[in-house]
Structure 1
Amino acid sequence: MIAPLTRTLIRILAIGFYREHAGVLACCFGTVLCYCFFITPAGHIDPRDLVMYNLTFTLAVLDAPIVMFTVCVLWLLYTIKSWQYIAKQLRAPENMFLYYSVNAFSRFRQFVSWSLAQFVILLPIIVYGIMILVVGMSYHSYKVPIILWLYILLLGSISARVYMYFMYEQATVPKTALFTQILKSWPKAYFSLPFYNMLHTTPWMGLITKVFSLLVLMSTFYFFNQLENTAVLYMVILITCMSHTILIYRENSFMEMYMPMARNFAYSRARIYGQHVIYYSLLLIPETVVLLTYTDLLTTALLFTFSLGCLLLLRSLLYIPSMYMRRYLWSITGIFTLSFIVILSQGGWLLIAATVTTSFTLCHTYYYQKET
């Protein structure tokens, strides 16, 4: 029988987590299941062996260190997302009673209940771990399943300790983050204000975006050791640029909400565009380092210019009047599709020129026409 404390935590927090993230979880978990059971490999394979073939291939792929590392990082990001949700729910007025009721139990009882609640949140990961365990035992491959299950147990245990920390510490007046205390006295250039706002308000969003971008790049170079087709690199860079969409949109929201007076500054539109160039060049430093590691200087320069042009275009779109989220997403979808077609047509140079020219034109035309 489930203890009352555990049942309460599961009903209020774990089930609430699934309600809020049902769409994303269904999409991600459904993609994994479709891959494992419905993807048909090349060649003739008996339909009776198709599912086991895909499961075996999944286990073989996980033996690759870079893929194993990617899976662990994705699971860690999922766990961190659950920490953010639990922290937000514990601060909600309707859940303040948990501070008094949960802390009335012993620390061991709290640890067990929080661990069980976290394992309920980790059910999609646990189901995938069970699948890997079954396939591994069938083919006498125990290393990957054991490592993954130890990792799952570690995530659950660490999460329980994190939640206990929330219960004891968040009832007090929140403290300013250490990096905020360090950086608040530094002089800050105008173009860097969105970056400091991201560090202060949504640091995990920026971290997740950069980790995803770097993993996509590194995985591409890992699986294609001799990558001579530049079209593949342009496609990968296009995907990494699109992953920055939410950061760009939040940057614009921050400037519109907290810096509306900026349009009264004595800044020319060329200077505003130049500040965007500096900001996004700094934002692309991690990707540039990876490109320099795996490609020559000329290829890196071309890909960097293309990625910079894409980010500038995504930013300049937001200067168009009435460019709200829905219309912005449709515009991005159109840009992605058109860019994909141009890349397949070996039009990398054309795409670089088009993104830079269009972004500057949009910024120059609409910067002072933006509705506030």
Structure 2
Amino acid sequence: MISPLSRILIKIFSRGFYRANAGLLLSCFVIIVSYAILITPLGTMNHELFAFSELFVILTFISNPVTLTIIFLAWLLYTAKSWQYVFQQLTVPENGFLFYSSTSLPKYKQLISWWWMQFIITLPLIMYGLLAVGFGIAHQQYLYPVLTLLYLLLLTTGSAGIYVWQANKLSAGVRYKPSFRLPFRWPKPFFTLFLHHILHRLKTGGLLTKTISIFCLLSGAYSVANNNRHDLRVAGLVVLTSIAAHLYLLYQEHRFELTNLPFTRNFPYNRNRLFAYSVLQYVLLLAPEIILLFVTETPLLATLLVFYALSAMLCFRGLLYQIGLQMNIYLPLVFVVYILLFWMIMYGILWQSACVNLLLGYLLFYNRYYKLPPLV
């Protein structure tokens, strides 16, 4: 039976976490759907081979220690992201009543309530883990499924214990002070301000985004179609999905620009120069992916894929200039655009779609930079 305190914690923290990270979660969903439904078959697999490949991917997860370790690390990053969100929300004045209501209970009751809250946050991981466990038991693979269940239990229970400790520490008057700071300084050109913001404020989200993006480029979405390794469509779809993983950072960039840098619109920079700054910023942001593409592909194909990646980033960013920080509109719109770009790649017009993306991103930026919708 879920206690009243558990319901309050779920309403404040669990629901709030999903609202605050809707972009990141949608990116993960798009990547999974693209891999499982769109990229893997690519029109070349019959139904039996496609079903076998999907079964092979799940069995690899429950029987390969390397794959299992990578998945566990990704889950740990997701959990660390939830820690960061809960710690920040605990310091919000509106949630101060929790210090008197929750900390007055015995520690074990606090632990149970926080456990249910973390269980809801971890629910996407639990669902995927249970699916893999079911396949493992069906195919007589028991060790790694048991480790998966124990690991999920450890993440949930350990997180609950951390929350209990943090809430009681705050109730005693010790404030939460993040201590993650770089030990050195370097020049900060205008176009790198958001990159520094990622290092200072969005470490967990940025690390999780880059992990998903790199994993997408290196995952079975690329290796299953090994016979078509240099097929332009396969490479284009993988790059598009990798860029979709950056939707969270794109949304946070727009929020950062509107809330922290509104005065920069008075700087003596014309819009063409600012657009060029955006290109430079995305080149730096996508540096790991760019290096990986040049390592795994021919120089000509890698150059085309980098051009496509930058154009897709600018296009998705331009949509925010049109609709503002309305996540309920941005997410469905981005998903529709993603599907359109997917089919353009499937029909073999990768470089043409890159030109369309670049032109659309530039026009939206140029026309809406000084005509932004109000904050919501």
Change (3 A) 1:9 1:67: farther
Q: What SS class does the counterpart of residue 141 from structure 1 fall into?
A: coil
Q: What SS class does the counterpart of residue 188 from structure 1 fall into?
A: coil
Q: Residue in 1 aligned with 2:282?
A: 280
Q: Residue in 1 aligned with 2:230?
A: 228
Quick one: higher RCO (CA 8 Å, sep 6+), 1 or 2?
2
Q: Residue in 2 aligned with 1:243?
A: 245
What is the one-letter code of the residue matched to 1:312? L
Write the distance in 2 (CA, Å) between the matches of 1:67 and 1:73. 10
Q: Residue in 2 aligned with 1:348?
A: 350
What is the one-letter code of the residue matched to 1:13? L
> Does the CA contact (< 8 Å) of 2:321 and 2:368 recur in 1?
yes
Q: Residue in 1 aligned with 2:149?
A: 149
Is 1:212–2:212 an aligned residue pair?
yes
Deviations 1:332-371 (CA, angstroms, capped at 9, x unpaired):
3443233222212211121222222333344344434446
> Does the CA contact (< 8 Å) of 1:13 and 1:86 recur in 2?
no
Q: Residue in 1 aligned with 2:196?
A: 196
Q: What SS class does the counterpart of residue 263 from structure 1 fall into?
A: helix
For structure 1, which segment, 307-316 or 131-140, has the greater mean C-alpha deviation from structure 2 after superposition? 131-140
Question: TM-score, with normalisation over the residues of structure 2?
Answer: 0.74
Aligned-pair distance for 1:10? 3.7
**Consecutive unaligned residues in structure 1, runs of 5 or more:** 36-40, 45-49
Q: Tell me which of 83, 97, 100 is aligned to 1:97.
A: 100
Change (3 A) 1:133 1:272: closer
Q: After TM superposition, where is structure 1 displaced by more than 6 Å over at least 4 residues in a row?
A: 21-25, 54-57
What is the one-letter code of the residue matched to 1:192? T
> Does the CA contact (< 8 Å) of 1:132 and 1:145 recur in 2?
yes
Write the distance in 2 (CA, Å) between the matches of 1:330 and 1:111. 38
**Consecutive unaligned residues in structure 2, runs of 5 or more:** 37-45
Aligned-pair distance for 1:257? 2.2
Aligned-pair distance for 1:241? 1.8
Q: Residue in 1 aligned with 2:260?
A: 258
Q: What SS class does the counterpart of residue 47 from structure 2 fall into?
A: coil
How many correspondences in the alignment? 344
Aligned-pair distance for 1:17? 5.1
Write the distance in 2 (CA, Å) between the matches of 1:235 and 1:276. 23
Aligned-residue CA RMSD in angstroms? 4.0
Write the distance in 2 (CA, Å) between the matches of 1:267 and 1:364. 13
Aligned-pair distance for 1:162? 2.5
Aligned-pair distance for 1:253? 2.2
Aligned-pair distance for 1:222? 3.2
Change (3 A) 1:119 1:197: closer
Write the distance in 1 (CA, Å) between the matches of 2:134 and 2:248. 38
Change (3 A) 1:133 1:119: farther
Deviations 1:182-231 (CA, angstroms, capped at 9, x unpaired):
46x54322112222223333332222222221221111233333413210
Question: TM-score, with normalisation over the residues of structure 1?
Answer: 0.74
Q: Residue in 2 aligned with 1:166?
A: 166
> Does the CA contact (< 8 Å) of 2:118 and 2:160 recur in 1?
no
> Does the CA contact (< 8 Å) of 1:89 and 1:95 recur in 2?
no
Change (3 A) 1:22 1:55: farther
Aligned-pair distance for 1:308? 0.7
Write the distance in 2 (CA, Å) between the matches of 1:81 and 1:364. 34
Q: Residue in 2 aligned with 1:13?
A: 9
Change (3 A) 1:68 1:222: farther
Aligned-pair distance for 1:96? 1.3
> Does the CA contact (< 8 Å) of 1:342 and 1:348 recur in 2?
yes
Write the distance in 2 (CA, Å) between the matches of 1:149 and 1:157. 12
> Does the CA contact (< 8 Å) of 1:241 and 1:310 recur in 2?
yes
What is the one-letter code of the residue matched to 1:266? P
Change (3 A) 1:267 1:154: same
Q: Tell me which of 37, 40, 47 is aligned to 1:42.
A: 47
For structure 1, which segment, 286-295 or 296-305, has the greater mean C-alpha deviation from structure 2 after superposition? 286-295
